[in-house]
Amino acid sequence: MTDPFLAFDGERLIARGSLEDVALAVRAHSTTASAGLPMVFDAASGRQIDVHLHGSEDDVRAWIEAHYPAPAKRGRGRPKLGVVSKEVTLLPRQWQWLADQPGGASVTLRKLVDNAAKNPEAERRGARDAVYRFTTALAGDAPGFEEAMRALYAGDEPGFEAQTAGWPEDVRAHALTLAAPTW
């Protein structure tokens, strides 16, 4: 999936690309269209993204930069890990096990999380959830929606394709793209 963001006006795809490109396209579309405000989605996760469209194009760009900053460019030397400190609650025996691992608790927890994220079932589950989020927003009232979701979560590719056959072309195409890892 090369385009990180998508915008839909109802069931029609109107923009794809970077968040800035999509937001500016939605802003231009909204001034000419009489329908409601288009919806912007993270293409990979299926999550709807709220975008500030008021003011000038520079105002929109500034809002995006403030809320979705570009990754920092690496300088010379070792890159920063971007570690965020949060609290984890474990039993004393679990803390002891972590403390006995090479590298300590933080290294072990990062490795456990990375290994779990690489699990094929976790990838399938994430893809199914992305399809569900996206299709609920745009096809929740479409004929066969509930049956399509049952087929999706059952791993029934032919059933999913059959139930989505009558959906709007752009919505169906992205749903099938998101669903591909689940099969």
Amino acid at residue number 182: T
Q: How do the pLDDT tens digits run along the chain, 183 residues long?
A: 567 999 999 899 999 999 999 999 999 887 765 557 899 999 999 999 999 888 899 999 999 999 888 766 655 544 566 667 778 888 999 989 988 999 888 889 989 988 887 888 888 999 999 999 999 999 999 999 999 999 999 999 999 999 999 999 999 999 999 999 999
106 within a domain of the structure (yes/no): no
CA-closest candidate to residue 151, choices 177, 120, 182: 182
142 located within any domain? yes
Residue 178 covered by a domain: yes
Do the strands 12-17 and 5-9 form a parallel or antiparallel pair, or are they unpaired? antiparallel
Give the domain-ending residue among 67, 83, 104: 67
- Contact assessment for residue 12 and residue 36, using Cβ atoms and an 8 Å cutoff: no
Note whether residue 129 is domain-resident: yes
Give, in order, the Cα–Cα distances in Å from 58 to each of 37, 49, 64.
20, 19, 10
Q: Please check whether residue 10 lies inside any domain of the structure.
A: yes
Domain total of the chain: 2
Instruction: With H, G, I as helix, E, B as strand and everything else as coil, classify residue 52.
Output: coil
Domain boundary among 43, 67, 91: 67
Q: How many CA atoms lie less than 13 Å away from 2 in the CB half-sphere?
A: 0
Domain with 151, as residue range(s), is: 120-182
> Which of 59, 29, 160 lies closest to 40 in space, CA to CA?
29
pTM: 0.73
